[in-house]
Structure 1
């Protein structure tokens, strides 16, 4: 399955009609669907991010909780399955998708998601999509949308999969890519990274990518307590001693979050930082480094833990706006810490200056597809090849920065082997002064961590983002 097409903008016939200035009395769609349409338009037409643009739309339009939940499910689901829906829509129009006006195609994607993947009856999905197109684009485009949506609604998603996807027996990657809305190259990468590589585990992983991610919170050590989050309606996290899960609601309404005593942070992200802090260390334990610290969640955990041990944290980020986010996350920590804007590949500190080093390396983000629904269609295999040299250079810099006997945690939010274990393998082989440390003992109580020594979290197994952790000791 190829990435979604970017339609041409020079269309005027039915199905390619610009928004017209027809009388305002024509039927309009309900506010939830209009909000979803505008969010999808911003993502596809302006390269916006759904997790940023949609909350602003929901707040500015004052949708009630039920409508906001519907708009969120519709927006995120449509973006996740865009590639699949484009194939289905393409089978039901008489022209290439690139010849459809972009707003029309986005409206059809929204309609396809409602009829194929939500609890919206086909006739309702047709009528509401037609109303949306009529109100937002024009009458001619509405007639076109009506015809297309009626044909799309004649089958359910399983039936369209049987008709349009490769057979599972002949091409399991292509079949699962279509059925679960992932580009085939990502499906192959996940299959390669999954222990055992079974098709059932692969399908479970893909399905988990399409489920909403839980809102995970982390208290800042020394500034907040998990009990305060529980009293506000959260539940203790399963494994992180500083974590909690908020079943519903806006985390910004929790006093501890507003005051900076806690923040939103995936439990897997918490666990990899805690593993670095909990691993035993011979010799001094006074200087800690977070090399790519923005936006600051892991730095806030490490700063609090460092304060408890009379250690100091240096948090570094190359980008000034991300460094400001780190400063905000560390505000209120009573210990010694510094936030520095610098290129961590050539940091302005002496070699062997730190006892513990965290490198949360820039990566493809394939481990957080639940949270960034459009990312799977924007990323390309070439991105992996471009990121790997930077990841390798940063890890070498981390090794130079840590003292002999000190620890480095190499972390990514991706399971892609070209960004995880093979990067570590290459650096160890060329360094000659590193040893892998089994990270599993420092993730107490967490099940299904594999054979070690590295750890790969999985959404379908652990309910976290697909974080990767390798612990290394410099000899």
Structure 2
């Protein structure tokens, strides 16, 4: 309910799969949830959020009458259907939801919950679960509605992708967004050899493999992430949870030891820490973000990862407010700009329900302003890397085109040979990853060189 009514981030409600602290039972004197229960709660929150549209459509098909439902009753029905259909819970699991409706709503609500869920289990047994149907002659918008219900995405987004990718490719993308996300570890090679850590994790029962994109620095965790977190490897500074697409953005930046580097929108700091490792802790790295609170823990993490004192400076300025001020120019600037986040819907299940078409346009205005501000901080001959975790051209290629039209002193350059795998580069040499193609978060990155 906090996600629906208060706009809470799904990870704050259910607990991010990457969190290390225990989940407390709010308003209860009892001990925090154990790790097994915590994982189950997280799965419920993420799953119900991800499948919300399909669950609500099923409720509309299974209810004897229409009309608005009490918010708590709606959540109980969503939970019950999710557990029965997606988690394949046995029929007796219905009882807990009936009891929940009695306690949180009213006795009559319990009868509704029992009727809807019993109806569902009968359909499950008969292999007759309702499905939205495509009818001959449906328009693209109507087909988008059907696919949006079946794959639990907003129709506007489905139709947008159908126009861009075609129907078959869109269905693959929708399916990818609904899979359990894959998490990766960026190994801190300043403190541990990746081969040694890989072997230790495998011997401890964690299913890991080398990243196909960054095999010398990243391990992909197929199962056992909670075991990794429980071993304290993050607290010891040996690794951090970070998607490979984020790592490839830093590879695109290619920071070198001894350089003066700026991560302009750095929160929460993962890319800055990887850049620091690439720099071997030599030179100067500035991690800036307009939200100082989101960088509060970065200095401590940097120290645990073995970075020398004085190497990292943390700033909290709105980049746009620095326009016109005198600065020591940077050799390299990373602008990982605020964006729609439509490339990370597998990990951020709530984002699909928060975004609207107008958000993409408003983001573009902000991204242009930030690019203009960042450009002033790059020395002649230096490099500006623009990146997002979006797969939308209005936030990616089109922003680069608009920037170059305003800044003739910059030119786009393709990624140098060997810097990134060819499979993640588009025809312009820009980095472009897609969840259904590359099996990682969708992201974009472009190198913009300032002329001498």
Judge same fold: TM > 0.5, yes or no: yes
Contact 1:218/1:243, CA 8 A, preserved across alignment = yes
**Please, what is the CA RMSD of the aligned residues?**
2.9
Unaligned runs of 5+ in 2: 16-20, 26-30
Counting only pairs closer than 5 Å after superposition, residues 75-90 of structure 1 correspond to structure 2 as 75-90=45-60
| Equivalences, count | 424
Q: Distance in 2 between matches of 1:452 and 1:227?
A: 34
Pair 446,119 (structure 1): closer, same or farther in 2 beyond 3 Å: farther
* Alignment partner, residue 263 of structure 1: 240
Local SS of the residue matching 2:274: helix
Counting only pairs closer than 5 Å after superposition, residues 57-456 of structure 1 correspond to structure 2 as 58=23, 60=25, 63=33, 67-93=37-63, 99-121=68-90, 123-124=91-92, 126-153=94-121, 155=123, 160-163=130-133, 170-171=139-140, 172-191=143-162, 197-230=165-198, 231-232=200-201, 233=206, 234-240=208-214, 241-246=216-221, 247-250=223-226, 251-277=228-254, 286-307=259-280, 310-331=282-303, 332-334=306-308, 336-347=311-322, 350=326, 353-439=329-415, 441-445=417-421, 447=423, 449-456=425-432
Contact 1:221/1:304, CA 8 A, preserved across alignment = yes
Superposed displacement of residue 345, structure 1: 1.9
Pair 78,327 (structure 1): closer, same or farther in 2 beyond 3 Å: same
Contact 2:264/2:333, CA 8 A, preserved across alignment = yes
After TM superposition, the structure 1 stretch with the greater mean CA deviation from structure 2, 394-403 or 230-239, is 230-239
Superposed displacement of residue 70, structure 1: 4.0
Superposed displacement of residue 209, structure 1: 0.6
Q: Distance in 1 between matches of 2:389 and 2:363?
A: 13
Superposed displacement of residue 225, structure 1: 3.1
Unaligned runs of 5+ in 1: 1-40
Q: Distance in 2 between matches of 1:468 and 1:103?
A: 39
Contact 1:275/1:442, CA 8 A, preserved across alignment = no
Superposed displacement of residue 293, structure 1: 0.5
TM-score, normalised to structure 1, is 0.80
